[in-house]
Amino acid sequence: MKELPLNGDVKGKRKKSVSSLAKTKKRSDYFWAYVMIAPTMLGLFIFYLWPILQTFYYSFTEWGAFGQHVWIGLENYKRMLTDANLFQSIKNTAIYIIFTVPIGIFLSILVAVLLNQKIKGKTVYRTLYFLPVITMPAAIAMVWRWLYNADYGLLNYLLSLFGIKGPHWVSDPKIALYSIIVVAIWSGVGYNMVIFLSGLQGIPRVYYEAAEIDGAGPFTVFFKITLPLLSPVIFFVTIMSLIGAFQVFDLIFMMIGKGSTALEHTQSIVYLFYQHAFVLNDKGYAAAIAVVLLIVILIITAIQMALQKKWVHYD
Amino acid sequence: MEKTKRLFTGKTFLIHFILILGSVAMVVPFLWMILTSLKTYGESIHVPPVLIPKDLQWGNYKEVFDLLPFFKFMLNTFIVTVARTVGQLFLCSLAAYAFARIEFPGRNFLFLLALSVLMVPGQVFLLPQYMIMVKLGWLNTLQAVIVPGLFSAFGTFLLRQFFMGLPKELEEAARLDGCNHFQIYWRIMLPLAQPGLIALGIFTALWSWNELMWPMIVNSSPDKMTLSVGLASLQGQYLTNYPILMAGSFLAILPMLILFIILQKQFIEGIALTGGK
Amino acid sequence: MKKWLIMLVAIVLGLLGLAGCSSSDKSSGESKDGKVEITYGFWDKKQVPAINEIIKKFNEKYPNIKVKTEITPYGQYFQKLETAATGGALPDVLWMNGAHVQQYAEGKVIIPLNDLVKKDDYSLDNYPKSLVDLYTVNDQVYGIPKDYDTIGLWYNKKIFDDAGVAYPDESWDWNKLKEVAKKLTNKDKGIWGFASTLMNQEGYYNFIWQNGGEIVSADGKTAGFDKPETIEALKFDVSFIKEGLSPTQAQMTETAASELFSSGKIAMMFDGPWMVPEYKKNPDINVAVLPKGKQRAVSIHGLANVIAANTKHKDAAWKFVQFLGSKDAAEIFAKTGTVIPAYNGTQDAWLKSVPNMNLKVFIDSAEYSVPLPSVKATGEIWQYEVDVLKKAWSLEVSVEDAAKELNKMANDALAKN
């Protein structure tokens, strides 16, 4: 491989003092750095950074039938204040988060801790719990919708063996959201479990040995050693799960039918965004929803960051 | 794992009990998917349920291929996944190396700029990205799915962490030998960052394979659909004919399942790495 | 050197993306040595064999016009068209339905055909008048009718035989429908007499018109959902669910009524001729005319071929549209048994394609058929219908309340346009 002629090292033929040598080396450094970051930075700029500004702009516009849009100021935001569907979707998303995130994290820690014991068949368990993680959400939604089917589903059949008449899991407005939550937890446990497991394995054995010498019971060990030392990982997983849960879409889109009265009681903020942006062609309003989603996520993340000082222990 | 007499003490028994319970919950939906995919429609809505179909209806799988260009979907998904993964690994590692190992003006600013993308939910990019595709005339093309996925703030961040952790001496020795930065990156750093690359690769591949919303928005022609979108459209056309839907679902997850079984260790370590840092 | 190449490509790709933001032209079909290529956009995969045959015939006549087909599933069809229209990239010739023709005509993305029709002395009398009217916007014809469909009462003979009840015929009215639905409903076997689906064209529109109600007034200015006749008709439809003669709305969203019907769990349901390819495999299934209410009525809807305003080959597109509307093309559609061709007199071939079913009812009922509302806001109103009426269908709110709410939303939508 030949040096590029542009390269500073060969460019200067003049007498080189030590300092000018360092300068050319530096210039060559800059050249390489900019060339190497250029594709990614350009791509990020075109497809991610600039669109953020664009979305802000769109949120002040109204869209006509074939792509024309006009500036309407704050109308979209004003409209939000009276949009019952939006408030319902925020509530749905909040319920979804409140259940999926803590329960999901609790269950994955539980599984991780159990798998961190000296038992047989760890790899088999780990594989099985990981299966949903590699499965596409569209397929997961489809099979669960079938399991949940009120008349012919497996779940209600199993309940009927105990003399219980199962509900309409995905079409009863009161239950459907919780049915989706169960699926979300089911499909997410494996992912977080793997992260926790590697976190657990990073805890030095000496702590446990010391605890054993002190005669601490398993619960004391868990709460006094495992949990504090695992707290940075828990913090990370919490943030990631929160952000993920805010954006729930696939499961709802695939599991809840358009003619179902449960739709209003399950649709998330992102579902509503999709609906306005790509079904109702109400792109200005959709952009406003996206902006609100961004602000909410930033606030929640900031709160998390502030709270972490209270409970996360870094060595 | 050491074998001890304590294997079947009350404690281990309890652990196995809980883990098996969970495993059953994990596996039953998949079993039910496969069983249903081999039933007739009549069997699938029989009360009480038929557990094992009388005659295995392999025809359901054929039907999926008759209804939809499923091979085409697989091919599309494969192309999209490979292109995005390879592209992202290359571009992200390139940028990550520069951010981690070279001092240059504006480095911190640019890096923070890239990081800011991480804090923003995907929906915020979606509408403008879509309009870019409309303007480029890229709707219903594979590059519409691939190109935005080539660039990743997350990948750059993850790999930068990796490059930062590598010892300085290697680089200095190479510089004395007259290597330029690209050569150092390519010959020395990239091989050392292999675990990070594998992790990012698996993460990206999983994401590309399974993603629904973006491919659904930009590609509506069956010629260019990915599997996720194909499944959604199968549901649209076939409403609730579950044996066929289940056959389609199983076909859609099979390639990734096989890959997972082969590369299990890399998958799990990869995911642990993407989350660990 | 390969590594360099990759890097170069990567950079160029990035720059390309940047430059691409401003330039967007995509030309379709270059004309060299007099050959032109036009695209034909449609949604129904079942019609591909027929359409391919038509294109072959067309090329025997016009070897210089190459036709490329573009299929988009119905679910995304209009969404895709809209964005294509935005970028001036509609297919040259495309399928249009009654719900969207106004919007597209007024948005000037499809062209009026009057001049072309006059120039070539093309006769529109070959098609049912209600269909031509459907595609007439402000006295301009925008589409050449392709096919049409009315609705029939599909029934399962076996369920009737088991219960010893006579099959539906012309004498049936609403009372008879209810009476038989009661007789055929069998909780133990999990059989419902009727399916009150939450569908307009296939379902409640028919009841509304039979009862003298209306969806949108003749002048297209007001909605008619709160008219007593409309409410009464909706109530009648919902009463089947209320009385347990139809699966509930929840059940029908979890398991589609048509699936339940074809597997013998539902005795009767309203549906269109597009189910023929599916149902003809089942010897127990046949079809009868819709029962009458205060009067006979059935919804009719038909598709038309239209030409995009952004076409670069208007003449070629018009030649193709003419051919698609010709008797030859209609006969090809008829033979394959997929749709009822719109060209008068070619329907017999369609009947013969499935002789064991009483398909004649679909053609006979065209006589007293009512077209679907065709105003600019139709698409929007349909969206509201699902959103609001599903609450009545799932018995959460009364039909009156739902109808009033819907009427208000529909009126707002009509006023806006």
**Higher confidence at residue A51 or residue B47?**
A51
List the single residue in C72, C87, C254 with the smallest CB-CB distance to B240: C254
The pLDDT of residue A19 is: 67
Asked if B137 lies within 8 A of C87 by C-beta distance, the reply is yes
Question: How far is C2 from C270, CA to CA, in rounded Å?
Answer: 65
In chain A, what residues touch B232 (CB-CB under 8 Å)? 138, 253-254
In chain C, what residues touch A172 (CB-CB under 8 Å)? 250
Which chain C residue's Cα is nearest to B243? Answer: C259
A7 touches B at CB < 8 Å: yes
Which of B94, B123, B246, B249 is the best residue to mutate to test the A interface, defined by the most A CB atoms within 10 Å of its own CB?
A: B123
Neighbours of chain C (3+ CB pairs under 8 A): A, B
Residues 6+ apart with CB under 8 A from B271: A133, A191, A194, A195, B199, B202, B203
Asked if C103 lies within 8 A of A65 by C-beta distance, the reply is yes
Where chain C has pLDDT below 50, the residues are 1-6, 9-32
Both C199 and C295 in a single domain?
yes
The pLDDT of residue C13 is: 46
Flag whether C63 is in a domain. Answer: yes
Q: What percent of chain B has pLDDT over 70?
A: 94
Nearest-neighbour CA in chain C from B276: distance (Å):
30
Domain of residue C140, CATH code: 3.40.190.10
Both C240 and C125 in a single domain?
no
Flag whether C15 is in a domain. Answer: no
Nearest-neighbour CA in chain B from A287: distance (Å):
7
Nearest-neighbour CA in chain A from B219: distance (Å):
12
**Higher confidence at residue B34 or residue C128?**
B34
Chain A, residues 157-196, CB within 8 A of chain C, namely 168, 170-172
Nearest-neighbour CA in chain B from A247: distance (Å):
7
In chain B, what residues touch C266 (CB-CB under 8 Å)? none
List the single residue in C11, C190, C386 with the smallest CB-CB distance to A259: C386
Asked if A143 lies within 8 A of B127 by C-beta distance, the reply is no
DSSP state of C289: P
Both C133 and C187 in a single domain?
no
Task: Spell out which chain C residues touch chain B, with contact meaning CB-CB distance below 8 angstroms.
Answer: 3, 6-7, 10, 13, 17, 20-22, 24-26, 70-73, 75-77, 79-80, 83-84, 86-87, 89, 190, 254-256, 258-260, 262-263, 265
Question: Rounded to the nearest 10 degrees, how much is the dihedral formed by the CA atoms of A105, A111, A112, A116?
Answer: 160
A148 touches B at CB < 8 Å: no
Flag whether C332 is in a domain. Answer: yes
Which chain A residue's Cα is nearest to C389? Answer: A259
Question: How far is B75 from B71, CA to CA, in rounded Å?
Answer: 6
Give the confidence band of B270 by pLDDT, cuts at 50, 70, 90.
Answer: confident
Both C205 and C343 in a single domain?
no
**Count of beta carbons in the 10 Å neighbourhood of residue C118:** 9
The residues spanned by each domain of chain B are: 65-225+254-276
The pLDDT of residue C25 is: 36
Both C278 and C387 in a single domain?
yes
In chain B, what residues touch C198 (CB-CB under 8 Å)? none
Asked if B124 lies within 8 A of A51 by C-beta distance, the reply is yes
**From the centroid of its chain, how far is CA C115?**
27
Both C204 and C237 in a single domain?
yes
Tally the domains of chain C. 2
Where chain A has pLDDT below 50, the residues are 1-15
Nearest-neighbour CA in chain C from A84: distance (Å):
13
Question: How far from A241 is each of A99, A100, A283, A289, B206, CA to CA, in Å?
Answer: 11, 8, 28, 21, 17
Which chain C residue's Cα is nearest to A262? Answer: C250
In chain C, what residues touch A280 (CB-CB under 8 Å)? 383
In chain C, what residues touch A150 (CB-CB under 8 Å)? 250-251, 254
Asked if B231 lies within 8 A of A274 by C-beta distance, the reply is no
Which of A50, A53, A142, A250 is the best residue to mutate to test the B interface, defined by the most B CB atoms within 10 Å of its own CB?
A: A142
Question: How far is A163 from A171, CA to CA, in rounded Å?
Answer: 21
Neighbours of chain A (3+ CB pairs under 8 A): B, C
The pLDDT of residue A315 is: 61
Which chain C residue's Cα is nearest to A168? Answer: C250
In chain C, what residues touch A278 (CB-CB under 8 Å)? 79
- Choose the weakest-confidence range: A87-96, B4-13, B87-96, B205-214: B4-13
Asked if C250 lies within 8 A of A150 by C-beta distance, the reply is yes
Question: How far is B126 from B148, CA to CA, in rounded Å?
Answer: 10
List the single residue in A149, A261, A281 with the smallest CB-CB distance to C82: A281
List the single residue in A194, A250, A297 with the smallest CB-CB distance to B271: A194
Predicted TM-score (pTM) of this structure: 0.86
List the single residue in B139, B236, B240 with the smallest CB-CB distance to C83: B139
| Inter-residue contact A273 to A290 (CB < 8 Å) | yes
Question: How far is B155 from B149, CA to CA, in rounded Å?
Answer: 11
pLDDT (tens digit per residue) in C378-408? 888 988 999 899 999 999 999 999 999 999 9
B132 touches A at CB < 8 Å: yes
**Count of beta carbons in the 10 Å neighbourhood of residue A102:** 12
Hey, which CATH number is domain B65-225+254-276, 3.40.50.2300, 1.10.3720.10, 1.25.40.10, 2.60.120.10? 1.10.3720.10
DSSP state of C296: -
Flag whether C18 is in a domain. Answer: no
Both C215 and C84 in a single domain?
no
Asked if A32 lies within 8 A of B36 by C-beta distance, the reply is no
- Chain B to chain C, count of Cβ pairs less than 8 Å apart? 73
Q: Which amino acid is at C197?
A: T
Question: How far is B158 from B200, CA to CA, in rounded Å?
Answer: 8
Which chain B residue's Cα is nearest to A182? Answer: B25
| Inter-residue contact C91 to C97 (CB < 8 Å) | no
List the single residue in A55, A132, A134 with the smallest CB-CB distance to B128: A55
Question: How far is C227 from C222, CA to CA, in rounded Å?
Answer: 11
The pLDDT of residue B236 is: 65
Nearest-neighbour CA in chain A from B223: distance (Å):
19
Both C46 and C140 in a single domain?
yes
Question: How far is C349 from C330, CA to CA, in rounded Å?
Answer: 9
Neighbours of chain B (3+ CB pairs under 8 A): A, C
Chain B, residues 59-88, CB within 8 A of chain A, namely none
List the single residue in C15, C251, C393 with the smallest CB-CB distance to A151: C251
The pLDDT of residue B200 is: 94
Burial A145-165 (b: 16+ CB within 10 A, else e): bbbbbbbbbbbbbeeeeeeee
Residues 6+ apart with CB under 8 A from A68: none
B131 touches A at CB < 8 Å: yes
Instruction: Please spell the DSSP secondary structure of C310-354, one letter per residue.
Output: T-S-HHHHHHHHHHHTSHHHHHHHHHTTSSEESSTT-HHHHHHHS
* Fold held by A76-311: MetI-like fold (1.10.3720)
Flag whether C30 is in a domain. Answer: no
Nearest-neighbour CA in chain C from A308: distance (Å):
39
Asked if C10 lies within 8 A of A39 by C-beta distance, the reply is yes
pLDDT (tens digit per residue) in A238-281? 988 998 999 999 999 999 877 788 899 999 999 999 999 988 87
Q: Strand, helix or coil at C370?
A: strand
Both C388 and C331 in a single domain?
no
Which chain B residue's Cα is nearest to A218? Answer: B11
Identify the domain containing residue C403 by its residue range: 152-300+374-416
In chain C, what residues touch B221 (CB-CB under 8 Å)? 70-72, 80
ipTM: 0.90
The residues spanned by each domain of chain A are: 8-58, 76-311
Nearest-neighbour CA in chain A from C380: distance (Å):
8
Which chain C residue's Cα is nearest to B134? Answer: C87
List the single residue in B134, B147, B182 with the smallest CB-CB distance to C86: B134
